[in-house]
Structure 1
Amino acid sequence: MKLAIIGSGKIVHDFLTITKDLKDTELTAIIGTKHSQDVLNQLQDQYHINEVFTDFDTALATGDFDTVYVAVPNFLHYTFAKKALEQGKNVISEKPFTVKYEEFLDLKALAEKNQLVLLEAITNQYLQNYLDLKKKLPDIGDLKIIESNYSQYSSRYDAFRAGEILPVFDPKKGGGALMDINIYNIHLIVGLLGKPEQVEYLPNIERGIDTSGMLILNYGTTKVVAIGAKDSTAPIRTVIQGNKGSIVVNGPTNEMDSFNVYDNDKLLEKINHNIYPHRMYQEFVEFERIIRENDLEAAEKHLNHSQTVMWVVKEALKSAD
């Protein structure tokens, strides 16, 4: 695919480190603002990107690319993704897909109408360890309890407490622990279990934003607690309990470093089959394949998964009002 990147923040810098190994992805453009011109130029030189644009409309009209990677702050995802789809470009959007569920539905309808690929960049759904975990679930019997904890004290939380409101803690810009960090847990759980019967969110609110919170998902005979915190730290792991054993995912749910399978308290095996050190590699290999082959069926499957996640977020926020 011929890829244009919009954004120049931390996630873009992180992504660009793997592009040398994405043999079927050509970096044709990076797009930002005039304020970020120096950073854009530096990234262009370092990663051999063909063109730099500081106006999105100009890039869409004149740039040589078929796909746009939307890696701007959360509240801007919808606007830029919609413009790209309207101009006949495939779109890969960073998580969360959109701030509002209705915005997601609008993008989905537009992509389907124009027969374009629309995907969410959510790493865990593509990692080999996650795919292997799904295969191991029957080994632990009937699922009873899942606890997924992604708690990581944010350096930006100190600035927030001092009165500086950055996008990650701004309720008007799609910030908060649910959207920023717990979203990874939601993707993992929905990928394993599908749509829950009930959703309840119990947040810790400071100055109008959830700095941490517990998400309760009811799947009938399986109960789930997803914890996301940016105001405190704890061991980051996911524990999946069945009536014949358990699985412990080591580390954050967006990385899936490895997982252990237990029979009661006995460790049966530790599994790590991820094929590349960086968490974003496998998803972009698959994105390239989907776009190259115009595999709209696979794209729709991933989009339906993202829709369920966005529905969970909507219900969670509604329950917390």
Structure 2
Amino acid sequence: MSPIPFATIGTNWITHSFIASAHSTSSWTLSAVYSRNASTASTFCARYDSDSPSPITQHTSLASLAADPHILAVYIASPNSLHYTHAAQMLAAGKHVILEKPSTSTLAELAALFRLARAHGVFLLEAFRHLHEANFKLLKQSLGRIGTVTGASFTYAQFSSRYAQVLAGADPPPNIFSLEMSGGCLVDLGVYCVAAAVELFGEPDEAVYFPVRIATGADGGGHLVLEYNDDKKNNNDNKSDDSTNNTPTGNTKAAPFPLHISTSKIYTSSAPSEIHGTLGTLTLPSITDISSVTFFERATGTTHELGVARGDDVKGALNMREEALEFARIIQEGDAEAAERLEELSKRVLKVTEGARRGCGVVFGVEREGGRKWGEGV
């Protein structure tokens, strides 16, 4: 099939990662870039023009991008609070949207976007890159090895250089630490752990967040406890699958158990992520860019490497290649079933993070009086 011509909204580092990963698959071609600033758009395009089969169009208005007949899909990595309006405009124009996590500020906004996508016959896909990695799929297939799940701990903590700006009293603060821009650690890094938990075990019965609040009012990090109490529900939701068609095998059991998530943007941790069971433990060195999956077998006291060697990483990019391949396949094949499965996952993940966040008083500007109120316009 011909490569999918796509555009980008957002000119930060993760956009460069997606472009590099997408181009490495030969399934995508960057055809347009949006930035409010013409100089920024020009500089951004110059990085890719020499490798492009045709000149990359520069747009300085969203209306112009939405009207571009040559664009089939748009990758959106703008500030979190703008995801809803940017995605809505592109979906209404009949373009597929790949929306960088976190999808939207609220669950109401996300539900509205999915309705809009269906109305216009296009797909909305949230970019949980780690769930498409070969070793994450292998982890899911391997859950049955540990017997009945009795607990788990996931960690994603990485110091952000932008926190130094917060400490220096930057006003306004960096977007990622601004409640007005729907920022904070839970929705930026913690969401990777939540997405992994929901994909592996389904929606938890309870989610309680203990945030570390910083000067901006946002959470710089924190500890999230997910409680899984309903064994029948977990067995239905927690389905091992093969790496090609996500066919459920239902071979994993789960007793009531807690899942602990530690996340931060104000310190860095090298702690592994683990899933414990009656027969052993599965261990990952990290929850994203998974290089290894080990199984400690309690009966023999031995440790087995289950992971597969990762393919060649795209230089200077995050591991987004497998995600780019799957999203291209869904769009090119019109795989509505796969898209609907990802839709359900996105809704469940946002339900968890929104509930946990609001439950401890971390409220975004769009939810407060005077802002775009929760659900307004959706």
Shorter chain as denominator, the TM-score bin is over 0.9
Q: State the Cα deviation string for residues 268-289 of structure 1 (Å, max 9, x = none).
A: 2241344442510001111111
One-letter amino acid of the counterpart of residue 169, structure 2: G
Aligned mates of 2:198, 2:72 — CA distance in 1: 30
Alignment of 1:128-139 (within 5 A): 128-139=134-145
3-state SS, counterpart of residue 191 of structure 2? helix
Matched residue, 1:60: 66
2:204 to 190, 196, 199: 196
Provide Cα deviations, 1:141-163, integer angstroms capped at 9, x if missing partner. Answer: 11111101111111111111111
Shift of 1:20: 3.4
Give 5+ residue unaligned stretches, structure 2.
230-255, 362-378
- Report how far residue 109 of structure 1 moved: 1.2
Query: Does the aligned pair in 1 maintain the 2:34–2:41 contact within 8 Å?
Result: no
Contact 2:21–2:324 (CA under 8 A) maintained in structure 1: no
Structure 1 residue 234 and structure 2 residue 269: aligned? Answer: yes
Q: Is it true that 1:271 corresponds to 2:304 in the alignment?
A: no
2:224 is equivalent to residue 209 of structure 1: no
Give the 3 Å change call, closer, same or farther, for CA 189–91 of structure 1 in structure 2: same
Residue matched to 2:182 = 174
Q: 1:267 to 1:185 in 2, by over 3 A?
A: same
Q: Distance in 1 between matches of 2:45 and 2:297?
A: 54
Q: Contact (CA 8 Å) 1:246, 1:261: kept in 2 or not? A: yes
Question: Could you tell me how far 1:170 is from its partner in structure 2?
Answer: 0.5
Aligned residue in 1 for 2:228: 219
The match for 1:15 among 13, 18, 22 is: 18
| 1:266 Cα deviation after fit | 2.2
Q: Post-superposition shift, 1:4?
A: 1.1
Matched, 1:146 2:181: no
Cα distance 1:90–1:40, how it changes in 2: closer, same or farther (>3 A)?
same
- Counterpart for residue 338 of structure 2: 298
Distance 2:41 2:92 in 1: 26
Instruction: Indicate conservation of the 8 Å contact 2:32/2:58, yes or no.
Output: yes
Q: Secondary structure at the match of 1:116?
A: coil
Alpha-carbon distance in 2 for matches of 1:19, 1:195: 30
Mean Cα deviation higher: 58-67 or 86-95:
58-67
Aligned partner letter, 1:266: T
Percent sequence identity over matched residues?
Answer: 29
Q: CA deviation at 1:47?
A: 4.4
Aligned residue for 1:110?
116
Q: Secondary structure at the match of 1:125?
A: helix
Q: Is the 8 A contact 1:29 1:50 kept in 2?
A: yes
Residues 88-146 of structure 1 show CA distances to partners (whole Å, capped at 9, x for unaligned) of 11111000001111110110111122221110011111111011111100000111111
Preserved contact between residue 30 and residue 44 of structure 1 (Cα < 8 Å): no
* Cα-to-partner distance string for 1:17-57 (whole Å, 9 max, x where unaligned): 23432212122111112252342232342542531211111
Q: What residue is the counterpart of 1:71 in the other structure?
A: 77
Instruction: Give how far 1:63 is off.
Output: 4.3
Q: What are the Cα deviations for residues 239-288 of structure 1, in whole angstroms up to 9, with x where unaligned?
A: 1100100011112x221222111113521224134444251000111111
After superposition, what is the alpha-carbon deviation per residue over 1:190-244, rounded to whole angstroms, capped at 9, x for unaligned?
A: 1100100011000011121100101110011121011110112221421110010
Partner of 2:46: 42
Structure having the higher helix fraction is 1
- Normalising by structure 2, we get a TM-score of 0.81
1:261 to 295, 320, 324: 295
Cα pair 1:32 1:40 within 8 Å, conserved: no
Q: Which runs of 5+ in 1 are unaligned?
A: none
| 1:65-91 per-position Cα deviation (integer Å, ceiling 9, x unaligned) | 111111111111111100011111111
Rounded to whole Å, the distance in 1 between the matches of 2:108 and 2:291 is 34
Equivalent AA in structure 2 for residue 260 of structure 1: T
